[in-house]
């Protein structure tokens, strides 16, 4: 019998955070099961799984896929990448988990965007390193202030995390930002984890990777994957590109955890990268339309003001003028209006005053959500 026995967790578990999107998804599903009609704007849709390879493969991924990825990254980032620099993992997330686990420890500082993908801060804290948030500023279209970055870099800085296009703000770093970030790092032996999972979802401008900058390849871990570009979130397919010696260590973490990425998902990944890319362009055009509808609609709602995000599929309206704290407003919108959005604070302390809406949903549902939020604010503000 386990009843009454204390669960004796390791103390490090207190430092592990979460990703609220998954909790809101569970709550929204529960409300739906209870007969409520919920509009899902919190998480991207998951495509159906289909059959294929069903046995173990190499921890770093199938060679054929690593070759295709090496070629893709060489072309898109204008660097020469070889398959031994590629590690295939189940989704983009394990590259965050493994890179931080492999590189950061007590006494090290890790700089990361805030508001930002919550797993960065969670993992930095989990490994006992010091979390050094860099604020993304609305007035800079949610890019970072380079002078603030320079002020944060010191001898204890081990890793800098960049994310462009960005979750949750939709901010996109420009060429000048990337150049200046590289200059701020200079000759220092600091690694950069460049989370480029939304690299193909840019509506204005181009994607720029710090990996492309002379002298930065050896110090960059590029994270990309299939979840966002090909709506393959449920296939669990992502990869990291990094110097081969680090790739060996990250593969060892794979051997110690999942053994390998599901082989049939990898075959699907090869098809996705090699196949026609028309669907990627079509989805980008579609997300742009949805973004425009969402931003225009939010800007008409009392207390909301929303900048036009240049990438990814999120919008991040400022809701300070409502007078409501973000979390309370997100809860009220789900409970009273049947709209699942996330509080900006789910992405860090600097997310207070904002909500995040995903536009990975139909225009029809986006309009329905906007009507509901507007009706709610009319009644309650
Ligand atoms: C910035 C960012 N990085 C990484 C991930 C993880 O992607 P995956 O679902 O492939 O693990 C996400 C997913 O939301 C994300 O927004």
Q: Quote the percentage of the chain above a pLDDT of 70.
A: 94
Structure confidence by residue, pLDDT tens digits, 235-251: 899 999 999 999 999 99
- Closest ligand 1 atom to residue 236 Cα is 10
Instruction: Answer yes or no: is the C-beta of 21 below 6 A from any ligand 1 atom.
Output: no
Distance 69 CA to ligand 1 centre (A): 18
Pairing outcome for strands 342-343 and 220-225: unpaired
Task: Give yes or no for a contact between 144 and 123, defined as CB atoms under 8 angstroms apart.
Answer: no
Distance 381 CA to ligand 1 centre (A): 34
The residue that leads in pLDDT, 37 or 149, is 149
- Closest ligand 1 atom to residue 163 Cα is 1
Distance 374 CA to ligand 1 centre (A): 30
pLDDT at residue 121 is higher than 90? yes
Pocket residue to mutate for ligand 1, from 69, 197, 230, most atoms within 8 A of Cβ? 197
Taking residue 362's Cβ as centre, other Cβ atoms within 10 Å add up to 13
Q: Quote the percentage of the chain above a pLDDT of 90.
A: 78
- Closest ligand 1 atom to residue 227 Cα is 10
Instruction: Answer yes or no: is the C-beta of 195 below 6 A from any ligand 1 atom.
Output: yes
Distance 378 CA to ligand 1 centre (A): 35
Structure confidence at residue 328 (pLDDT): 98
Structure confidence at residue 13 (pLDDT): 72
pLDDT at residue 48 is higher than 90? no
- Closest ligand 1 atom to residue 94 Cα is 11
Does the model's pTM come out above 0.85? yes
CA distances from 193 to 55, 149, 295 (A): 31, 15, 30
Distance 299 CA to ligand 1 centre (A): 27
Structure confidence at residue 265 (pLDDT): 85
- Closest ligand 1 atom to residue 117 Cα is 1
Mean pLDDT of the residues in the chain: 91
Structure confidence by residue, pLDDT tens digits, 127-146: 999 999 999 999 999 999 99
Distance 92 CA to ligand 1 centre (A): 5
Tokens of 79: 């660097």
Q: At what angle do helices 363-380 and 326-337 cross, to 10 degrees?
A: 110
- Closest ligand 1 atom to residue 225 Cα is 10
Ramachandran region of residue 142, left (φ > 0), alpha (ψ -120 to 50) or beta? left
Q: Minimum mean pLDDT among 24-28, 229-233, 331-335: which range?
A: 24-28
Structure confidence by residue, pLDDT tens digits, 163-200: 999 999 999 999 999 999 999 999 999 999 999 999 99
Structure confidence by residue, pLDDT tens digits, 271-303: 889 888 888 899 999 999 999 999 999 999 999
What whole-number distance in Å separates Cα of residue 91 and Cα of residue 67?
Answer: 18
> What phi and psi, each to the nearest 5 degrees, are found at residue 199?
-60, -25
Structure confidence at residue 2 (pLDDT): 55
**Ligand 1: residue whose CA is nearest its atom 7:** 92
Structure confidence by residue, pLDDT tens digits, 304-350: 999 999 999 999 999 999 999 999 999 999 999 999 999 999 999 99
């Amino acid at each position: 019998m386990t009843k009454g026995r204390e669960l004796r967790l390791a103390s490090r578990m207190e430092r592990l955070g979460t990703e609220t999107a998954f909790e809101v998804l569970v709550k929204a599903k529960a409300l739906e099961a209870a007969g409520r009609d919920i509009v899902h704007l919190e998480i991207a849709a998951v495509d159906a799984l289909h059959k294929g390879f069903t046995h173990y493969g190499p921890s770093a991924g199938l060679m054929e896929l690593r070759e295709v990825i090496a070629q893709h990254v060489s072309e898109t980032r204008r660097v020469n990448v070889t398959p031994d620099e590629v590690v295939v993992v189940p989704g983009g997330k394990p590259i965050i988990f493994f890179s931080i686990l492999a590189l950061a420890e007590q006494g090290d500082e890790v700089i990361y965007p805030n508001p930002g993908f919550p797993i960065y801060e969670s993992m930095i804290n989990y490994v006992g390193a010091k979390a050094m948030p860099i604020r993304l500023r609305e007035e800079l279209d949610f890019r970072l202030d380079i002078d603030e970055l320079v002020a944060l870099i010191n001898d204890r800085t081990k890793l800098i995390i960049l994310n462009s296009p960005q979750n949750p703000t939709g901010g996109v770093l420009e060429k000048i930002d990337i150049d200046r970030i590289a200059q701020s790092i200079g000759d220092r032996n600091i690694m950069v984890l460049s989370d480029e999972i939304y690299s193909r979802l840019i509506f204005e401008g181009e994607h720029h990777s710090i990996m492309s900058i002379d002298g930065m390849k050896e110090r960059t871990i590029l994270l990309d994957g299939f979840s966002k570009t090909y709506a393959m979130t449920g296939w669990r397919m992502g990869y990291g590109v990094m110097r081969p010696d680090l790739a060996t260590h990250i593969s060892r973490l794979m051997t110690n955890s999942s053994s390998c990425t599901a082989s049939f998902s990898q075959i699907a990944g090869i098809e996705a990268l090699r196949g026609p890319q028309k669907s990627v362009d079509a989805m980008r055009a579609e997300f742009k339309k949805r973004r425009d509808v969402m931003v225009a609609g939010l800007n008409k709602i009392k207390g909301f003001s929303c900048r036009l995000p240049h990438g990814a599929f999120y919008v991040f309206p400022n809701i300070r003028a409502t007078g409501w704290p973000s979390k309370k407003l997100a809860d009220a919108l789900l409970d009273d209006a049947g709209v699942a959005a996330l509080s900006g604070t789910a992405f860090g302390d600097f997310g207070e005053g904002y909500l995040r809406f995903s536009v990975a949903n139909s225009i029809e549902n986006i309009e329905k959500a906007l009507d509901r939020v507007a009706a709610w604010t009319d009644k309650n503000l």
